Amino acid sequence: MHSFVAAVLLSLAFAPYANARPENSPASQPPGETIATASVAAHFEASTQIGGKRGSDKTDWYFLRQANRIETIRPNGGIAEIWIRDERGDLTLKRIFHPDRRVVEYTTGDLRAMGATAPWTALGSIIDPLTLAQQFKRLGTVKIPHGIATIYKDTRKGQSIEIWWLDQVALPARIIHESDGKSFSLTLKSLHAAPPPSWPFVDDAALASYLVIDAADLGDRHGDPFVRKVEQLDAETHAFDHAASAHSH
């Protein structure tokens, strides 16, 4: 899989942090919170095309949402992420690297130190619904197999992002991102209340055999090839770089 696909997919997973708002701000709970936290299992196909090359790279991406747990699974890359929200509303994160049999754990304190705070509804919708409504132009609606999608678009600094949004499940049905001669799309292939048995999933019991690394310890292990891999991935995706940055034109 081309690294551009990996970069965009993981950027999507962390997209709410590029639009981070304080948890207690009046705008932090957009309409439809109940929908945005309802259980859903979504299978997406990601496709990317570089320049004028014929054909495109394609990969599967799975998104599983429950009231207090969100999983993103990219089987082709062997990477998964699990977000947990506790009874206080605090978040923790596990980043799972299956080929390396390792897990990087981020505590609530780690995430706060990195400025990685966002409403749970934003994380559970891949794209922040409030940002979409306030900062993207609404072009109309289109009927698709999964329901009626509202089309939004935003163009800035040489890049264009078009999003087909399903209000009834608070998820995108399609994302089209064009920038610097690269074209990326994320298309919803199937939608379920719970993942079918044939889907990939994170086996918590199997994770017990993986090496667990505290995120706070990554900085002390620069010589570890795995840590360099994580750092390179973060550098490519800017996963946490924009955590405390506001979305601006």
For the cut 60, the answer to whether the pLDDT of residue 95 exceeds it is yes
- Residue 239's pLDDT is 59
Say what the pTM is.
0.81
- Residue 242's pLDDT is 41
Strand order in the sheet with 79-85: 137-144, 147-156, 159-166, 171-179, 182-192, 40-50, 57-65, 69-74, 79-85, 91-97, 102-106, 211-214
Nearest to 239 by CA among 151, 114, 90: 114
Per the CB < 8 A criterion, the answer to whether 156 and 171 are in contact is no
Domains of the chain: 3-21+31-237 (2.50.20.10)
Tell me how many degrees the CA angle 207-234-212 measures, rounded to the nearest 5: 25
The number of beta carbons lying within 10 Å of the beta carbon of residue 25 is 9
Summary mean pLDDT of the chain: 79
Per the CB < 8 A criterion, the answer to whether 56 and 39 are in contact is no
Rg (the chain; Cα; Å): 18
pLDDT tens-digit profile of 100-129? 999 999 999 988 887 777 778 888 898 888
Best mean pLDDT range from 49-53, 138-142, 153-157, 179-183: 138-142
For the cut 80, the answer to whether the pLDDT of residue 56 exceeds it is no
% of residues, the chain, pLDDT over 90 = 40
CA distance 99 to 79: 8
Arithmetic mean of pLDDT, 51-59 = 71
| Helix runs in the chain, H state only | 3-13, 15-18, 33-37, 108-113, 120-123, 129-135, 204-207, 225-237
Higher per-residue pLDDT: 135 or 35: 135
Higher per-residue pLDDT: 215 or 32: 215
